[in-house]
Amino acid sequence: MGEFVNLEVADGVGTIRLSRPPMNALNRQLQEELRTVAREAGERADVRAVVIYGGEKVFAAGADIKEMADMTYTDMADRGAALQSAFTAVAEIPKPVVAAITGFALGGGCELALCADVRVCADTAKLGQPEITLGIIPGAGGTQRLPRLIGPSKAKDLIYTGRFVAADEALSIGLVDRVVPAEDVYPEAVKWAARFADGPAYALRAAKESIDRGLETDLDTGLEIERLQFTALFATEDRATGMRAFVAKEKPEFSGR
């Protein structure tokens, strides 16, 4: 159990909950706790899908600028890789991951949301990458994950201007996947994640890895990644269970093995 980040598990869904009032500023301690909890969520067999949640009022309003204000180039040169790897640990959770976004998801908060597979957003939420207004650029994946998600021109607009994006625009440009009333954000995210609590865990893992790794390479290499993942699933119990159930016209009961 961390001071600022915890993993709560219920019915196969693990919630990575940020709790650093008032705005969940992502200081060094929170980043390290995030890395630890993300790895735990990835390793635990009782966690089949993950929700990232900052609470009812805010997702995460960005990095702890007070902590960063006096850092030198060499300070950040020493810290930068650890900052990125904390977020990458979330992106690499080998299970379905949904971000439940309330309030602000700015700077590092937006970058954390980008690490999820899908994003459920409150109709009152604001998202953005305002680092340029501090004389810097996103440093936890924003310049890489954002253009991969919404395209380079839209990403450049948000990063160059540093402007905040309301929920309706975030939905229209593909930054979020669903907009709901604020009080419904967490329940909707859990509902999405719960769909996979009894699913074929290794097939879901293979699908996520094939998509994520394939996006980083050319089509032929991506197809080879898919082929290897596809054929490997024929060694799993769930593949046999799923196909037998299909032939028998029954609902499969997957074991996650």
Catalytically active residues, by annotation: 111, 131
- Provide the edge-to-edge strand list for the sheet that holds 49-53: 5-10, 13-18, 49-53, 97-101, 118-122, 178-180
Which of 238, 254, 190, 257 lies closest to 16, judged by CA? 190
Q: Where are the alpha helices (DSSP H) in 124-236?
A: 142-150, 152-161, 167-172, 185-194, 201-214, 219-232
Containing 43, the helix (H) or strand (E) segment is helix 28-43
The tokens of 195 are what? 């769909």
Q: Do strands 13-18 and 118-122 pair parallel, antiparallel, or not at all (unpaired)?
A: unpaired
- DSSP labels, 213-257: HHTTS-HHHHHHHHHHHHHHGGGSHHHHHHHHHHHTT--------
Could you give the CA distance from residue 117 to residue 179 in angstroms, rounded to a whole number?
15
